[in-house]
């Protein structure tokens, strides 16, 4: 089986500060993720997992090393180019949902389409597309609700719909269940796993081993380095 | 991003904070309205002055005595070198003259059987005075040239003077004593009101020759001619117009040459002045124009204050919405998308404020005019000026906050609490 590589990083470093007082948040991380994979990144705070997440999500740039996303070297893109990559190829699910307040679920989901430069859709088409995605995450009847009218689980579903609406090659999830009770958390994890089973490539940061257990593979970071890599049994061949 | 979408987003953002948006716009509304109202008031004043001046007859050339080169003294010091005979010379030798009026004024006490008034302005004129100065006789008649030539002892009263002297009585046929001269009242002028600082209604009109012979010191008149204050020359627009290639300036120049020759002076040392109504209006206009721009600047300051208000609110808004900016950046908004979004909000605030201010300014000008009785003229250019400055101010003061928003780092913005 020959799946394409979505993420390929070589010796990624991120160094904060200058000279004597510089701190390496990432000290040479090489990670590969293939299409359809579900990867968890774990590690104690300060291990560099957020930094790695930000770089993989094109929210920041590595100090050195190479990052190839979906065949494109994105290590040295400028702000505008990164914004376009985020819009075209990435979707984000945050711990705190990060929905626009006082804005309906439908409009929150439409937001990435609004900034799409390559594929202008009319407002009606955007609404249509956003509605379909909301429906697929089980919120077809809540599209005109604003975030404050929705439960945490529902808000996270809106956020997942927003992450999916522009058909990304990679979804980044940062502690997606961190703000949820265990029941809603389990529901959200089930939704995310379903997405993965339908072919979406997902990278998730978590500190909860029970959450990481949903994934195929877990990378443990410590002090900016990959400490160990655990294959969760299924799809071992992905790492050949 | 498409402009229409930008405007929609910006509009939505403003609607989410209706009261705040309205208060922010208030500065611009007041500023724009103030500019329009101030300019309307000064333009109204200007128009009133202009009307007043033209209401005193059109196509007029004023020849006045000037004292700059000759220091005369005594009662006749009102006059420089201008004499009665100059008027006849102008009438004979200058082409395009329709009518000539000569006036000399003095101040005397006026007595009737019932009343005595001191210091009444006495104006000696020739017969064409009412027509040249656009004044009407309300009752009775004005005097004719024959009566002027014969020094007939008659008088025409200004409207309010007639009332003061005779009350409800009919003044026609009554006798008034001006200084030591008894004059018979033959007419009363129509009400004219105050023009500049001259009350036309409080004056007594009498043949020029009466003033010259009975009320002025004319010991030297036999040698030097009777000095007069002013000669009005009404120009015939049939003869003096662009078609005939003859302008008012030509006539003025001819009068200057003629008088200089008669007075044996050079043009540089002339003991007289030749001006036109246009000159007077022009002088008035430059005064009111200065006044107008002063008012506009004062109003403009409030526009700038309004702009600072917009900047202030936009800065607050950027801070408040840092997380929103982060969210937008994470889903693909570029720095320029963010910049435009906030710039559009600032622009929309100032443009909507400008529109409301325009409405308030137009309504305010009208209400002010009605309430104060002052004339207000809404100047179209002032509307564009005010609206244009509002837009400029929106862009100018909106740019800094918008730029600040655009420069935010997505990671920091997303983490902002």
The complex scores an ipTM of 0.93
Classified as helix, coil or strand, B16 is coil
Average pLDDT over chain B, rounded to an integer: 85
Question: A100 in helix, strand or coil?
Answer: coil
pLDDT band at B74 (very low <50, low <70, confident <90, very high): very low
B332–A115 CB contact, under 8 Å? yes
Contact in structure between B194 and B48 (CB atoms under 8 Å): no
Interface test with A, best of B327, B339, B406, B411 (most A CBs within 10 A): B327
User: What is the pLDDT confidence band of residue A202, given thresholds at 50, 70 and 90?
Assistant: very high
What is the reported pLDDT for B69?
44
Asked if A59's CB is within 8 angstroms of B410's CB, the reply is yes
Specify the pLDDT at position A18.
Answer: 73
Cβ distance of A94 and B414 shorter than 8 Å: yes
Q: Which of B327, B410, B411 sits opposite A100 (nearest CB)?
A: B327
Alpha carbons within 13 angstroms on the beta-carbon side of residue B104 total 27
Helix (H) or strand (E) holding A107: helix A105-114
pLDDT score, position B97: 85
The pLDDT score that the predictor gives to residue B220 is 67
pLDDT recorded at residue B67: 60
Interchain contact B332–A (C-beta under 8 A): yes
Q: Is the pLDDT of residue B238 over 80?
A: no
- Which range has the worst mean pLDDT, A206-210, A236-240, B27-31, B221-225? A236-240
The pLDDT of residue B215 is 85
The share of chain A scoring above pLDDT 70, in percent, equals 96
For A154-184, b/e burial (b = at least 16 CB within 10 A) is bbbbbbbbbbbbbebbbbbbbbbbbbbeeeb
What pLDDT, on a 0 to 100 scale, did the predictor assign at position A23? 86
The overall longest dimension of chain A from CA atoms, in Å, is: 57
Counting residues of chain B whose pLDDT is more than 90, the rounded percentage is 29
Distance from CA of B346 to the nearest CA of A (A): 20
Checking if the pLDDT of A69 tops 70, the result is yes
Which residue reads 């040249």 in tokens? B132
The two tokens of residue B143 are 């005097």
Residues of A whose CB is below 8 A from B2: 120
Distance CA B140, CA B212 (A): 24
Least confident of A56-65, A185-194, B356-365, B384-393: B384-393
Q: What is the pLDDT of residue A29?
A: 93
A111/B327 touch (CB, cutoff 8 Å), yes or no: yes
pLDDT digits (tens, 9 = 90+) for B98-145: 888 998 888 889 998 888 889 899 999 999 888 888 888 998 999 998
Residue A52 pLDDT greater than 70, yes or no = yes
- In a mutational test of the B interface, the residue from A57, A83, A113 whose CB has the highest number of chain B CBs within 10 Å is A83
Q: Is B346 helix (H, G, I), strand (E, B) or coil?
A: helix
Q: pTM of the predicted model, to two decimals? A: 0.70
Quote the pLDDT of residue A65.
94
Does residue A39 sit in helix, strand or coil? strand
Beta bridge partners of B178: B110, B181
More confident residue, B38 or B288: B38
Most B CBs within 10 Å, among A48, A51, A79, to test the B interface: A79
Residue B256 and residue B274 in contact, taking contact as beta carbons nearer than 8 Å:
yes
User: Do B328 and A84 lie within an 8 Å CB cutoff?
Assistant: no
> DSSP string spanning B289-310?
HHHHHHHHHHHHHHHHHHHHHH
Residue B17 pLDDT grade (very low, low, confident, very high; cuts 50, 70, 90): confident
B109 vs B61: CA distance, rounded Å: 31
Question: Is the CB of A60 inside 8 Å of chain B's CB atoms?
Answer: yes
Contact A92 B331 (CB under 8 A): yes
What confidence tier does B56 reach under pLDDT thresholds 50, 70, 90? low
The Cα A213–Cα A177 span in angstroms is 13
- Which of A54, A80, A115 is the closest to B331 by Cβ? A115
* Residues B99 and B132: beta-carbon distance below 8 Å: yes
B204 forms beta bridges with B122, B157
| pLDDT digit string, tens, across residues A87-140 | 999 999 999 999 999 899 999 999 999 898 887 888 899 999 999 999 999 999
Q: Which among B401, B301, B395 is positioned nearest to B348, based on CA atoms?
A: B395
Alpha-carbon gap, residue B349 to B26, rounded angstroms: 10
CA–CA gap between residue B223 and residue B199 (Å, rounded): 34
| Residues sharing a CB contact under 8 Å with residue B49, sequence separation 6 or more, in sequence order | B281, B284, B288
For B245-287, write each residue's pLDDT tens digit.
777 788 888 888 888 888 888 777 778 888 887 787 777 778 7
Q: What angle do CA B303, B305, B307 make, to 5 degrees?
A: 70
pLDDT of residue B61: 87
CB A77 within 8 A of CB B293: no
Residue B175 sits at φ, ψ, to 5 deg, of -115, 135
| Shortest Cα–Cα distance, B331 to chain A (Å) | 5
């Amino acid at each position: 089986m020959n799946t394409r590589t979505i993420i390929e990083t070589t010796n990624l470093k991120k160094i904060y500060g200058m000279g004597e007082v510089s701190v390496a948040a990432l000290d040479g991380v090489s990670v590969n993720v293939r299409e359809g994979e579900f990867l968890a990144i774990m590690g104690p705070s300060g291990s560099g997992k957020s930094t790695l997440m930000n770089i993989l999500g094109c929210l920041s740039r590595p100090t050195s090393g190479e990052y190839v996303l979906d065949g494109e070297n994105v290590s040295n893109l400028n702000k505008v180019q990164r914004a376009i990559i985020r819009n075209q190829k990435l979707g984000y699910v945050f711990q705190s949902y990060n929905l626009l307040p006082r804005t309906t679920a439908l409009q929150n989901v439409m937001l990435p389409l609004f900034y799409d430069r390559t594929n202008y859709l009319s407002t009606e088409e955007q609404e249509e597309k956003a509605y379909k995605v909301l429906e697929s995450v089980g919120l077809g009847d809540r599209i005109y609700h604003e975030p404050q009218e929705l439960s945490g689980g529902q808000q996270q579903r809106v956020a997942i719909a927003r992450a999916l609406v522009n058909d990304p090659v990679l979804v980044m999830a940062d502690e997606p269940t961190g703000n949820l009770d265990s029941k809603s958390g389990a529901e959200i994890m089930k939704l995310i796993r379903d997405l993965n089973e339908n072919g979406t490539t997902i990278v998730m940061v978590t500190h909860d081993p029970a959450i990481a257990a949903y994934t195929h593979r877990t990378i443990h970071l410590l002090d900016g380095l990959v400490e160990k890599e655990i294959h969760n049994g299924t799809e071992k061949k992905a790492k050949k | 991003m498409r402009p229409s979408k930008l405007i929609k987003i910006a509009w939505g953002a403003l609607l989410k904070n209706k009261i705040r948006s309205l208060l922010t716009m208030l500065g611009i509304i007041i500023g724009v309205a103030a500019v329009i109202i101030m300019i309307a008031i000064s333009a109204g004043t200007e128009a009133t002055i202009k009307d007043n001046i033209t209401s005193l007859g059109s196509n007029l050339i004023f020849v006045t005595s000037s004292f700059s080169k000759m220091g005369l003294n005594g009662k006749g010091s009102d006059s420089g070198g201008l004499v009665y005979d100059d008027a006849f010379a102008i009438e004979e030798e200058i082409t395009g003259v329709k009518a000539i009026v000569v006036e000399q004024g003095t101040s005397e006490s006026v007595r009737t059987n019932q009343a005595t008034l001191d210091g009444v302005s006495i104006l000696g004129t020739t017969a064409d005075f009412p027509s040249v100065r656009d004044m009407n006789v309300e009752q009775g008649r004005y005097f004719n040239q024959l009566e002027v030539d014969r020094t007939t002892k008659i008088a025409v009263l200004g409207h309010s003077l007639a009332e003061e002297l005779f009350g409800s009585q009919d003044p026609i046929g009554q006798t008034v004593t001006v200084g030591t001269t008894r004059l018979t009242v033959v007419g009363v002028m129509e009400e004219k009101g105050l023009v500049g600082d001259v009350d036309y209604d409080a004056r007594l009109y009498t043949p020029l020759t009466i003033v010259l012979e009975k009320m002025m010191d004319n010991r030297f008149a036999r040698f030097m001619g009777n000095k007069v204050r002013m000669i009005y020359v009404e120009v015939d627009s049939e003869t003096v117009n662009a078609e005939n290639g003859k302008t008012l300036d030509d006539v003025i120049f001819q009068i200057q040459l003629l008088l200089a020759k008669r007075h044996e002076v050079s043009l540089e040392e002339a003991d007289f002045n030749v001006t036109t109504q246009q000159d007077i209006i022009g002088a008035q206009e430059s005064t009111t124009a200065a006044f107008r721009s002063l008012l506009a600047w004062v109003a403009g300051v409030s526009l700038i204050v309004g702009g600072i208000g917009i900047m202030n609110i936009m800065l607050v808004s950027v801070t408040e919405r840092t997380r929103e900016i982060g969210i937008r950046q994470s889903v693909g908004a570029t720095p320029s998308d963010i910049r435009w979004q906030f710039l559009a909000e600032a622009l929309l605030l100032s443009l909507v404020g400008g529109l409301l201010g325009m409405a308030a300014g137009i309504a305010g000008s009208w209400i002010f005019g009605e309430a104060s009785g002052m004339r207000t003229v809404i100047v179209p250019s002032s509307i564009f000026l005010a609206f244009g400055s509002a837009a400029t101010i929106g862009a100018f003061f909106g740019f800094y906050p918008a730029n600040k928003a655009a420069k935010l780092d997505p990671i920091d913005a997303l983490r902002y609490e």
